[in-house]
Amino acid sequence: MNLDEEFAKGTLVHPLEGASNSIDLFVAAANLAGGPSIPHSDNTERLIEEIGHHDHYLFVLVDGLGMTFKDQFPKNGFFETRLHAQLHSVFPSTTAVALTSMATCTWPAQHGMTGWFTYFPEYQRVFAPLLFRERDTDIAGAELGFDVSDLIQEKPILGTVFRNVASVMPRAITGGHYARWSRGGTPIVPYSSFAQARRAIKRIVRKANGPTYTYLYIPTVDHQSHITGVTSPEVAKEIERVDRLLVRICETLPQTVRMIVTADHGLVDVPKERHFVFRESDPLAKTLYAGQTGEGTTPVFHVRDEEAFLKAFAEHPSSEFYTLFRPDELASRNLYGPIALSERMKSHLGDFVGIATQPSLLEYVPPRREPIDHVGVHGGLRPGEIEVPLFLE
């Protein structure tokens, strides 16, 4: 595969070319919220001007709502009428990477997250950072003596902004170590229903005694897309439900509130015949230190024996769809950001990264675990994964 040719054809999308990147928006929002001065791009400066200075900001992240869903936006609803621009997600285009970039306003090249699972050679462990659990044992990081700051050395921005900050998040995740870390010590308000979320936001703004910055996280579109696929009627119904929530929020908030709504990534459907699973007993696994990490769409390999790995990979059925690249090849094209890879990111990316033009999934399954049977997937460079919307109200 020639990456430059695939970018030119539009089969793949470069995260830093042709549109502003999510990082540009995250830095713009942090700047407007009164955060510390962060060097930023012309794209960020333009977004700051377009968003403008307001007494109150509501930043909404709808997990998984890529531009591929544009035709499913409800007629005359929030999404259709407030669409402002198209952005590009970070790469890998996945929640663990994007939310860490949002929390710290740093590129993946710096913070070092590679996907849902990241291998930390410095600890010889694979963690799912968002769950803060070790992959192979399913033991919580805290029980193993770790803190989230051991995995991510950059500091969250929200604890440093000069506004009243609150985050409205699903109750199931508000007690998690990653959620608390990412909010930088600022208050988290849990919700169990969209109605509760709406009332919480209304209460935060009305009771404020100064400028506010409120964050709302909505995971349901991503969750449903994983289960039933991006073109399913269940996902269309969920998009409509989220759209109604945002319309209701608009109706209840004063004009002094500026709403910024975006997504962390989009998704594409992967057919079952391109969902490849390998286990500890597979010849491919025996050539690796930690199976596959990163995302199954963009697998990361830490290799024990390069010659043995290349031979085992060439014989594996997934090799028909993945091209192997060395991390520095991808970094030289600025795929992880317009900066050099940090030493942590170099170690976390290992020896090879797989890139596919067609939606494909390569999944290492540890002993006593079952495969994750996802239909909708993300993490790669395809348009459906990289292109995300920006809405302003």
338: preceding bond cis by omega (within 30 degrees): no
Q: What is the pLDDT of residue 264?
A: 98
Q: What is the pLDDT of residue 36?
A: 78
Judge if 174 and 233 occupy the same domain: yes
Q: Judge whether 265 and 21 are in contact, CB under 8 Å.
A: no
Judge if 263 and 284 occupy the same domain: no
Residue 44 lies in a domain: yes
Enumerate the β-bridge partners of residue 352: 301
CA distance 322 to 327: 15
Residue 164 lies in a domain: yes
Segments in the chain below pLDDT 70 = none
CATH number of the CATH domain containing 315: 3.30.1360
CA distance 374 to 275: 9
Judge if 185 and 328 occupy the same domain: no
Judge if 86 and 48 occupy the same domain: yes
Residue 294 lies in a domain: yes
Judge if 287 and 262 occupy the same domain: no
**240: nearest Cα among 70, 72, 59:** 72
Q: What is the pLDDT of residue 311?
A: 97
Largest CA distance in the chain: 64
Residue 124 lies in a domain: no
The burial of 319, by beta-carbon neighbours within 10 Å (0-12 exposed, 13-18 middle, 19 or more buried), is given as middle
Q: What is the pLDDT of residue 108?
A: 98
Judge if 77 and 153 occupy the same domain: yes
Q: Under DSSP, is residue 332 helix (H, G, I), strand (E, B) or coil? A: helix
Q: Under DSSP, is residue 158 helix (H, G, I), strand (E, B) or coil? A: helix
3-class SS string, 13-76? CCCCCCCCEHHHHHHHHHHHCCCCCCCCCHHHHHHHHHHCCCCEEEEEEECCCCHHHHHHCCCC
Number of other residues whose CB lies within 10 A of the CB of residue 137: 13
Q: What is the pLDDT of residue 187?
A: 95
Residue 123 lies in a domain: no
CA distance 206 to 161: 20
Q: What is the pLDDT of residue 368?
A: 86
Judge if 37 and 18 occupy the same domain: yes
Going from the C-alpha of 121 to that of each of 126, 302, 346, 392, the distances in angstroms are 8, 9, 10, 41
Judge if 200 and 304 occupy the same domain: no
Judge if 99 and 174 occupy the same domain: yes
Q: What is the pLDDT of residue 39?
A: 77
Judge if 288 and 260 occupy the same domain: no
Q: What is the pLDDT of residue 373?
A: 85
- Give just the sign of the alpha carbon dihedral 190, 195, 199, 205: positive
CATH number of the CATH domain containing 242: 3.40.720.10
Number of domains in the chain: 2
Judge if 217 and 313 occupy the same domain: no
Residue 276 lies in a domain: yes
Residue 14 lies in a domain: yes
Q: What is the pLDDT of residue 162?
A: 86
Q: Which two tokens stand for residue 132?
A: 């803060």
Q: Which two tokens stand for residue 198?
A: 């709406």
Q: Judge whether 104 and 183 are in contact, CB under 8 Å.
A: no
Supply φ then ψ for residue 166, to 5 degrees.
Answer: -150, 145
Residue 117 lies in a domain: no
**What confidence tens digit (pLDDT) does each residue in 233-286 have?**
999 999 999 999 999 999 999 989 999 999 999 999 999 999 999 999 999 999
Q: What is the pLDDT of residue 79?
A: 98
Could you list the residue range(s) of the whole structural domain that residue 201 is in?
A: 3-109+142-267+383-392
According to DSSP, residue 254 is labeled -
Q: Under DSSP, is residue 243 helix (H, G, I), strand (E, B) or coil? A: helix
**What confidence tens digit (pLDDT) does each residue in 263-276 have?**
999 999 999 999 99
Judge if 176 and 259 occupy the same domain: yes
Q: What is the pLDDT of residue 38?
A: 82
**What confidence tens digit (pLDDT) does each residue in 76-106 have?**
999 999 999 999 999 999 999 999 999 999 9
In sequence order, the 6+-apart residues with CB closer than 8 A to the CB of 173 are 179, 219
